[in-house]
Amino acid sequence: MKIHVTDREGGEHEVEATNGWRVMEIIRDAGLPITAECGGACACATCHVYVDPAWVAKLEERGEEENDMLDLAFEVQENSRLSCQIMFDPSLDGLKVTLAPE
């Protein structure tokens, strides 16, 4: 299973995904530049990504805590998510995300 990550310079990366991991962890484990300062506790907003519009509806909606924490992110859009709050499972094979500016 894979996810596709576009970095801040526009570079594209196909990354091996593991069932049950947070998307943030998958990105971090691949060595891509994601700060994820709080390690996935929904407490820092430094794991902000944009989800490809085709995938937005396939994800569970943002929780209230995630929405609050997005106040600390920049350039927030409708498809903004904190990648530590997206749990990867096989239905997300092929997910496309872009790292947000920081």
Partner 1 sequence: MSTQPIRTDVTIVGAGPCGLFAVFELGLLDLKCHLVDILDRPGGQCAELYPEKPIYDIPAISVCTGQELTDKLMAQITPFEPTFHLNQMAESLEKTADGWWRLTTDIGTVLESKVLVIAAGGGSFVPKKPPIKGIEDFEGRSVFYAVRKMDQFRGKHLVIAGGGDSALDWALNLQPLAASVTLVHRRDEFRAAPDSVNKMRALVAEGQMRLEIAQIASLEGADGQLSGVVLKDKERGEWPLACDTLLAFYGLTMKLGPVAEFGLNLHENLIPVDTEKFQSSTEGIFAIGDINWYPGKLKLILSGFHEAALMAQAAVRVAYPERKIRFQYTTSSTDLQQKLGVA
Ligand X SMILES: Cc1cc2nc3c(=O)[nH]c(=O)nc-3n(C[C@H](O)[C@H](O)[C@H](O)COP(=O)(O)OP(=O)(O)OC[C@H]3O[C@@H](n4cnc5c(N)ncnc54)[C@H](O)[C@@H]3O)c2cc1C
Q: Which two tokens stand for residue 78?
A: 């409708």
Phi, psi of 63 (to 5 degrees): -80, 170
Which residues 6+ apart lie within 8 Å of 42 measured at CB?
Answer: 63, 65, 66, 69, 82, 84, 85
List 38, 59, 76, 87, residue binding ligand X (CB under 6 A): 38
Site string for partner 1, 43-72 (x = CB under 8 A): xxxx--------------------xx-xxx
CB 49 within 8 A of CB 37: no
Amino acid identity, residue 63? G
Pick the piece of the chain touching ligand X (CB under 6 A) from 17-25, 36-44, 47-55, 58-66: 36-44
Could you say whether residue 38 binds partner 1 (CB under 8 A)?
A: yes
User: Nearer Cβ to ligand X, position 17 or 45?
Assistant: 45
User: Nearer Cβ to ligand FES, position 84 or 92?
Assistant: 84
Could you say whether residue 41 binds partner 1 (CB under 8 A)?
A: yes
Pick the piece of the chain touching ligand FES (CB under 6 A) from 9-17, 44-52, 53-61, 91-99: 44-52
How far apart are the C-alpha atoms of 73 and 50, rounded to whole Å?
A: 12
